[in-house]
């Protein structure tokens, strides 16, 4: 497995567009080519990268603007993680996992030569799947912990058991306890 390199399984003909292409045309190109991202390049030099999530973000955040007037380079991240074709796929997988990316542009001697995706790696090396699943579970648990932390600061709960009288009712937080309205009025 150590002998298999990014260059062995990468897509050598990635979908590329110019940085000044508008988002509406980018979306059309993604649908036509059935891809989830576009590399932005000028003369084989990578200058940007956008995904379908970036276009959705622009659609929501810039809803008052016409997508045909927003250039792809305007929403592209400024820093782009890339990888060399000579890197073993295990290291490429680790880099994707660490950065939480699903794809990496492949650069050789300053020129864009391809793209490698998590799907490429998993279809070739399914043994990475448990590792990816574990990372997904860790992210999900972290999200749950954040939600629990937010819930601790909520002023009310819709329904629950009063910590004072034990009756089921609509609860609110009072002196660090979740209590019903009648117990709160008695204090």
- Is residue 186 located within the same domain as residue 94? no
Whether 148 is covered by a domain: the verdict is: no
Quick one: pLDDT band at residue 80, thresholds 50, 70, 90? very high
Same domain? 109 vs 181: no
Mean pLDDT, residues 63-76 taken together: 87
Residue 24 carries which DSSP code? Answer: H
Instruction: Enter the pTM of the model.
Output: 0.66
Task: Decide: residue 6, CB within 10 A, 0-12 exposed, 13-18 middle, 19+ buried.
Answer: buried
Instruction: Provide the domain count of the chain.
Output: 2
- First vs last C-alpha separation in the chain: 68
- Residues 80, 38, single domain; the answer is yes
Residue 69 sits in the same domain as residue 158: no
pLDDT at residue number 168: 87
Rounded CA gap, 161 and 119, in Å? 47
Within-domain flag for 96: yes
Report the CATH number at residue 37. 3.10.580.10
Q: What is the residue range of 168's domain?
A: 154-187
Looking at the fold, whether 55 and 96 belong to one and the same domain comes out as yes
Q: Which helix (H) or strand (E) holds 42?
A: strand 37-42
Summarize the confidence of residues 126-130 as an average pLDDT: 67
Lowest mean per-residue pLDDT among 8-17, 19-28, 169-178: 169-178
Whether 4 contacts 88, CB under 8 Å:
yes
Residues 20, 64 within the same domain: yes
Considering only residues 8 and 136, tell me which one the structure prediction assigns the higher pLDDT.
Answer: 8
Residue 132 has a pLDDT of 63
Per mean pLDDT, which range of 57-61, 91-95, 120-124 is the poorest?
A: 120-124
């Amino acid at each position: 497995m150590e002998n298999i390199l990014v260059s062995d399984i990468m897509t050598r003909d990635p979908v590329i567009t110019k940085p000044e292409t508008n988002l509406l045309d980018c979306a059309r190109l993604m649908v036509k080519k059935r891809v989830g991202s576009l590399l932005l390049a000028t003369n084989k030099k990578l200058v940007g990268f956008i995904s379908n999530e970036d276009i959705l973000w622009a659609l929501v955040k810039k809803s008052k603007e016409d997508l045909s007037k927003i250039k792809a380079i305007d929403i592209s991240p400024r820093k782009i993680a890339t990888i060399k074709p000579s890197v073993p796929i295990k290291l490429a997988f680790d880099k994707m996992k660490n950065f939480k990316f699903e794809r990496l542009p492949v650069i050789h001697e300053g020129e864009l030569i391809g793209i490698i995706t998590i799907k490429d790696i998993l279809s070739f090396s399914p043994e990475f799947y448990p590792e990816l699943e574990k990372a997904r579970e860790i992210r999900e648990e972290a999200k749950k912990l954040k939600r629990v932390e937010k819930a601790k600061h909520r002023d009310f709960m819709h329904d629950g058991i009063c910590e004072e009288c034990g009756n089921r009712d609509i609860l609110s937080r009072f002196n660090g306890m979740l209590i019903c309205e009648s117990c709160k009025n008695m204090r």
